[in-house]
Structure 1
Amino acid sequence: MFDTSRRRVLQAMGIGGATAVAGCANAPTAQDRTEQRERMEQAATPEVDRVAADPTDIPGPIDRDEPAEVDVELVPREVTAEIEGGVTFDYMTYNGQVPGPFIRVRRGDTVNVTFRNPEENTMPHNVDFHACAGPGGGAEATMTAPGETAHLRFKATYPGAYIYHCAVPNMDMHISAGMFGIILVEPEGGMPEVDEEVYLGQHEIYTDKEAGTEGHHKFDMASMADEEPTYVVMNGEAYATTPDRYGAAATVETGQTVRTYFVTGGPNMTSSYHPIGNVWERLYPEGSLTTDPQTHIQTKPVAPGSTAIATMDFPVPGNYKLVDHALSRVVRRGCMSVVTAEGEENPEVFDPEPQ
């Protein structure tokens, strides 16, 4: 339950009563949307060099045989960063990165969440864990105004890779601005061994200017309502995890296997997740780890609010582009990641210059 002062603060910020904060219970009014947009425009958010999450910053596989208590701290941070060179945008993030931190637990673990909304923020935030069996996935329990801290405790009762995301009434705006991530609940027997793991999250960004227009881009509610994004990106920025930006998502040797954990934050568009020059050798649709994986899949639709776990092998060297096969999003809106495989050529498998 909220205490009286907390309820008044949230109502004053356009959030409404307790029923409004549990996911989609109440839709935001036009005044709510206007007030949130104005707060973002007036705020002097701190500028950072990067919001793109490091794709290899993933906790290691769990090797214990018994459930444990796992402490997780999520801190919503409102920051300004470049979507691409010369183009800035006001992001909303978990822990300063997009997607938010990769959380790794085991089925049966108890997850102790500390959710701290810093005083310098301008908006209320919360988190809805799709891995949490409880009202709103914890959204109401973690609803906080700036300067508040909330706590949530839940047991991870079902395995799989699940999205977590902000779930205030203007959730589409908050997710579009970067507030989503993955919590992986490993099965009791653990995950199959691979050589490398990569974490990628796709979402749309809606702004008041055309893609590539230099300067500061403001969030545009009308474009979001019409589902006409300016950018569609992986890990928060245009082409962030490519050699031309911050470097490839991962560099491996030929013969090795990479497992990708992919989440579509949305808020609106389904991704057609595809590895150019390869296939998904083993794919767990919707992040399910209690069904048999699919094999040799070329392209997998991943809907907003869902995930996929997919592996790929590298028989020959080169740059392997991971894309949304709605290809205008790749060519014109920034949606691509790259995994680089290094090693000797293998002309029996691929020969670009046959004699």
Structure 2
Amino acid sequence: MFDTTRRRTLEWLGIGGAASIAGCASQAPTAENTGSSTTAAQTTSTPQPTDVDRVAADPTDVPASISRSQSKHHEITLQTEEVVAEIEDGVTFSYMTFGGQVPGPMIRVRQGDAISLTLENPPESQMGHNVDLHAVYGTGGGAVATTAAPGEQNAMKFQARYPGAYIYHCAVSNLDYHISSGMFGMIVVEPKDGLPSVDREFYLGQHEVYTDKAVGETGHHSFSFENMANEQPTYVLFNGEKYPFTENRYGTLSAEQGERIRVFLVDGGPNYSSNFHPIGNVWSKGYRDGSLEAPVEKHLQTAKVPPGSCFVGEVETPVPERIKLVDHALSRVARRGLLAEIDVAGDERPEIFDPSPDMQASEDEEGPIY
């Protein structure tokens, strides 16, 4: 099914190692060479049939933490999938993904592990793809080695030499287009001594989507290269969909009072930094830029996560509440679709938080008790 012919792939894409850095072309893309569908004749006013029920990756689908003390060799395959799915009800979009989900599957290894990674690009794909992992020492983070035209596959082997949480993403010539459309994920390289244990872990990916229609406008939204060039996104999303992990979409995430929760965030961008904040809580421990080595920062209210970087944060849950995970550039929450929620179940602790205090004045005081 798949051919392994890297030279032909690079010729098909019109790029080579000397002509690109991590797949970045020196000239801006045009509609002709990107497969753009932004012309009036190609734009539709009705949603397209979808290929999948949802594109939003399950945030609870996180590989187990690593407890072993020895290095290991991993055989990992990433398959690209170009799918039509809904951003929100009645709004379809043509995504490019790793494994049919946004973000791509989390890869979790230990410092010192060896990884044989194969990228498969099915024959039904319309475009060439590759993968650049920020955890790789090597040209383009492996992008040139893994570049594959439709119907091809290519592979590389690398050692995870430095710990941290790192983005991986497609890095062909029009990498901003591919990343915005969903082609990014996270590789976690745990330190040799591992990470502190927690009760739950969640995995989210933030990115912008640039379309030819307004937020919520029914129909199939085609990609807008003009809006992307001007950095004016239609949507800013977690996991490729509008408000995905809320009551009105796929349901809120769940936790129990007293649990410690670790949240992994990868910011695919391609252009916006995230200002990651848990409303009603605080990052009790924060690993900025995905660095899993000291120093660990404590009690961060809002963490800046640049595009192409990651953040790992922990929250404590002393009271029952709904924690809202947001970008504190709040217009992205109120108007462009970025929100995920965690419902913490448990018993009220009014000494910490009392949502319904007695408002009657005490006999010893003249004013109300707040």
TM-score category, normalised to shorter length: over 0.9
Q: 1:195 aligns with which of 199, 208, 211?
A: 199
Equivalent residue, structure 1, for 2:144: 140
| Displacement after TM superposition at 1:68 (Å) | 0.4
Equivalent residue, structure 2, for 1:17: 16
| Displacement after TM superposition at 1:8 (Å) | 3.4
In terms of Rg, which structure is larger?
2
Equivalent residue, structure 2, for 1:184: 188
Shift in alpha-carbon separation, 1:34–1:175, aligned structure 2, 3 A: same
Q: 2:209 aligns with which of 205, 209, 216?
A: 205
Contact 2:50–2:92, Cα closer than 8 Å, also in 1: no
Shift in alpha-carbon separation, 1:304–1:3, aligned structure 2, 3 A: closer
Instruction: Answer yes or no: is 1:93 the counterpart of 2:97.
Output: yes
Contact 2:24–2:175, Cα closer than 8 Å, also in 1: no
Instruction: Answer yes or no: is 1:243 the counterpart of 2:215.
Output: no
| Displacement after TM superposition at 1:23 (Å) | 1.3
Equivalent residue, structure 1, for 2:34: 36
Q: Superposed, which structure 2 residues align to 1:299-314 within 5 Å?
A: 299-314=302-317
CA deviations on 1:312-353 (whole Å, 9 max, x unpaired) are 011111211000000000000010111110011111111111
Cα RMSD after superposing both structures: 1.8
Contact 2:104–2:185, Cα closer than 8 Å, also in 1: yes
CA deviations on 1:288-318 (whole Å, 9 max, x unpaired) are 0122210000001100000111000111112
Matched letter for residue 35 of structure 1: N
CA deviations on 1:193-238 (whole Å, 9 max, x unpaired) are 0000000110000000000000100000000000000000001101
d(CA) in 2 for partners of 1:45, 1:131: 37
Equivalent residue, structure 2, for 1:51: 55
Equivalent residue, structure 1, for 2:368: none
Q: Superposed, which structure 2 residues align to 1:35-184 within 5 Å?
A: 35-38=33-36, 47-184=51-188
d(CA) in 1 for partners of 2:270, 2:19: 19
d(CA) in 1 for partners of 2:165, 2:351: 37
TM-score (norm 1): 0.94
How many residue pairs match? The answer is 348
Matched letter for residue 36 of structure 1: T
Q: Which runs of 4+ in 1 moved over 4 A?
A: 1-4, 39-42
Secondary structure in structure 2 of the residue aligned to 1:283 = strand
Task: Mark the runs of 5 or more structure 2 residues left unpaired by the alignment.
Answer: 359-370
Q: 1:346 aligns with which of 344, 349, 352?
A: 349
Contact 1:19–1:26, Cα closer than 8 Å, also in 2: no
Instruction: Answer yes or no: is 1:278 the counterpart of 2:277.
Output: no
Equivalent residue, structure 2, for 1:321: 324
d(CA) in 2 for partners of 1:136, 1:302: 22
Equivalent residue, structure 2, for 1:298: 301
Instruction: Answer yes or no: is 1:222 the counterpart of 2:226.
Output: yes
| Displacement after TM superposition at 1:24 (Å) | 4.8
Shift in alpha-carbon separation, 1:25–1:229, aligned structure 2, 3 A: closer
Shift in alpha-carbon separation, 1:25–1:78, aligned structure 2, 3 A: closer
Shift in alpha-carbon separation, 1:30–1:7, aligned structure 2, 3 A: closer
Contact 2:29–2:174, Cα closer than 8 Å, also in 1: no
Secondary structure in structure 1 of the residue aligned to 2:231 = coil
d(CA) in 2 for partners of 1:28, 1:171: 12
| Displacement after TM superposition at 1:277 (Å) | 0.5
Task: Mark the runs of 5 or more structure 1 residues left unpaired by the alignment.
Answer: none
Instruction: Answer yes or no: is 1:252 the counterpart of 2:252.
Output: no
| Displacement after TM superposition at 1:2 (Å) | 6.0
d(CA) in 2 for partners of 1:343, 1:49: 33
d(CA) in 1 for partners of 2:69, 2:283: 30
| Displacement after TM superposition at 1:45 (Å) | 8.9
| Displacement after TM superposition at 1:30 (Å) | 4.0
CA deviations on 1:36-76 (whole Å, 9 max, x unpaired) are 1347969x996211010000101101121100001211111
d(CA) in 1 for partners of 2:268, 2:8: 32
Contact 1:45–1:79, Cα closer than 8 Å, also in 2: no
| Displacement after TM superposition at 1:3 (Å) | 5.7
Matched letter for residue 258 of structure 1: I
Secondary structure in structure 1 of the residue aligned to 2:145 = coil
Identity %: 51
Secondary structure in structure 2 of the residue aligned to 1:229 = coil
